Amino acid sequence: MSTELMNTKEVADYLDIHEKQVYLLIKASRIPCSRVTGKWIFPKKLIDEWIELNAREGLKQARQKSKKITGALLAAGSNDPLLDMFLTATKTTHPDFYIFLANTGSVSGLKALNDGYTDIAFSHLFDPESGEYNIPYLASYLPHLNPLVVNLFYRDLGFIFRPETGKKIKDFQSLAKNKISIINRQAGSGTRVLLDYNLDKLGIPPEKIKGYEKEVFTHIEVGQAVLSGEADTGIASIAIARLLGLSFQAIAKERFDMILDKDTYFQPGIQSFIETLNTGAFRERVEKIGGYDFQHSGKFIYSTN
Task: Confirm whether 56-152+257-303 and 158-253 share one CATH topology.
Answer: yes
User: What's the rounded Cα separation, in Å, for the pair 115 and 141?
Assistant: 10
- List of E strands, the chain: 5-6, 34-36, 39-43, 73-77, 99-103, 120-123, 147-161, 182-185, 215-216, 233-237, 247-261, 292-293, 300-303
Residues contacting 103, CB < 8 A, separation 6+:
76, 77, 78, 79, 217, 218
By three-state DSSP, how is residue 37 classified? coil
Q: What is the full per-residue pLDDT of the chain (305 aa) written as tens digits?
A: 445 888 888 888 888 778 888 888 888 788 888 888 888 888 888 887 777 766 666 555 555 555 544 567 888 999 898 888 888 888 777 777 777 888 888 998 999 999 888 999 999 999 989 999 999 999 999 998 889 999 999 999 999 999 887 667 888 998 988 789 999 998 889 999 999 999 999 999 998 999 998 999 899 999 999 999 999 999 999 999 998 999 999 999 999 999 999 888 888 888 888 888 888 888 888 888 888 999 998 899 998 76
Nearest CA among 88, 90, 128, 123 for reference residue 104:
123
Closest CA to 299 of 155, 122, 150: 150
Q: What pLDDT is attached to residue 59?
A: 57
Residue 64 confidence (pLDDT): 55
Instruction: Give dist(CA 268, CA 24) in Å, integer.
Output: 45
CATH 1.10.3470 assigned to domain 1-55? The reply is no
User: Smallest Cα–Cα separation from 30: which of 14, 16, 51, 13?
Assistant: 51
- CA distances in angstroms from 35 to 21, 42, 49, 134, listed in the order given: 17, 9, 19, 41
Distances (CA, A) of 217 to 165, 178, 191: 24, 26, 10
End-to-end CA distance of the chain: 52
Burial of 296 (0-12, 13-18, 19+ CB in 10 A): middle
User: Which residues make beta-bridge pairs with 259?
Assistant: 121, 149
Q: How far apart are CA 185 and CA 212, in angstroms?
A: 9
**Which CATH superfamily, name and number, covers 158-253?**
Periplasmic binding protein-like II (3.40.190.10)
As a whole number of angstroms, the distance between CA 168 and CA 78 comes to 28
State the pTM of this model: 0.76
pLDDT of 299: 92
CA pair distance 198, 219, nearest whole angstrom: 19
Report the CATH architecture of 56-152+257-303: 3-Layer(aba) Sandwich (3.40)
The answer to whether 274 touches 298, Cβ cutoff 8 Å, is: yes
Give the start-to-end residue ranges of the domains of the chain: 1-55, 56-152+257-303, 158-253
